[in-house]
Amino acid sequence: MATEHGRRAAVLGSPIAHSLSPVLHRAAYGELGLAEWTYDLFDVDEAALPGFLKGLGPDWAGLSLTMPLKRAVIPLLDEISETAASVEAVNTVVFTEDGRRAGDNTDIPGMVAALRERGIEQVESAAILGAGATASSALAALARICAGEVVVYVRSQARAAEMRQWGERLDVQVRTEDWADAERALSAPLVIATTPAGATDALSAAVPERPATLFDVLYDPWPTALAARWSMYGGAVVSGLDLLVHQAVLQVEQMTGHASAPLAAMREAGEHALAARQD
């Protein structure tokens, strides 16, 4: 339990053992002098979530959520931000002083911040590889920085229809294409790969000689075959660790009330943890 001045936070999901969130948040607490704060992980599925939330005491500051809880948590909250509502996904819960449960989505501004860090403020067009939950967050991020069309490469007509619906909802001009033509995506000014590990490996041979920017949301193992070839050809690469760190920075700020979380220290901690896994 927390001490008089300590607070508690954690990441929930199922499976959850692989999560880097404890490493990132604990690094932030160390830099911010929050020695009595704790951050843990709990394997919680959709069925167990209501009971878990009900059992939390007043020493809890907030929660990070991963799959499959980002949508399941919404009916259990008192309020959610416009950002979270735009994609019907919450990855951050903050417990307010008056006892309310407030939900937010830091993945979307985290994507924007990760791109901005690499000098990507705006693009004329973009391509998304994949059409899962992360793809809708990518579309929401592109709504903030993309002036023109977003082409989404998908494996099924059902997914294509979903992505077009998300485009209408987010006010993004979306065109869908079949995954068989995904090599065409690689010539876009910004390519966001949202697919599971291995799904884009075959595309690495098609990377153009002068690629622009690739945002690959994976981080373990890293680099992916696509990211490695992209870097070899001199293209800019934003990794899943960049996204994880930037969204965690926003979570730490919301949960602790500190105006500026230590980005560099959190990234370094994440890099060390990933290197240890690969040894």
For the chain, how many residues are written? 279
Alpha-carbon span 118 to 192, nearest angstrom:
14
Q: Which residues contact 160 (CB under 8 A, 6 or more apart)?
A: 131, 152, 154, 176
Q: Which residues contact 27 (CB under 8 A, 6 or more apart)?
A: 262, 265, 266, 268, 269, 270
Query: β-strand 92-95 against 101-104: which pairing, if any?
Result: antiparallel
When pLDDT is averaged across residues 253-258 and rounded to a whole number, the result is: 97
For 155-198, the pLDDT digits (tens) are: 999 999 999 999 999 999 999 999 999 999 999 999 999 999 99
- In DSSP notation, 200-236 reads TGGGGGG--SS--EEEE---SSSS-HHHHHHHHTT-E
Single pTM value for the model: 0.94
Question: Among all residues, which ones are annotated catalytic?
Answer: 70
For 84-114, the pLDDT digits (tens) are: 999 999 999 999 999 999 999 999 999 999 9
Max Cα-Cα span within the chain: 59
Provide the mean pLDDT of the chain. 95
Q: What is the DSSP letter of 33?
A: T
Whether 212 shows a pLDDT value over 70: the answer reads: yes
Give the per-residue pLDDT at 238: 98
Q: Residue 207 in contact with residue 233, Cβ under 8 Å? A: yes
Return the residue matching tokens 């791109």. Answer: 115
Give the per-residue pLDDT at 277: 87
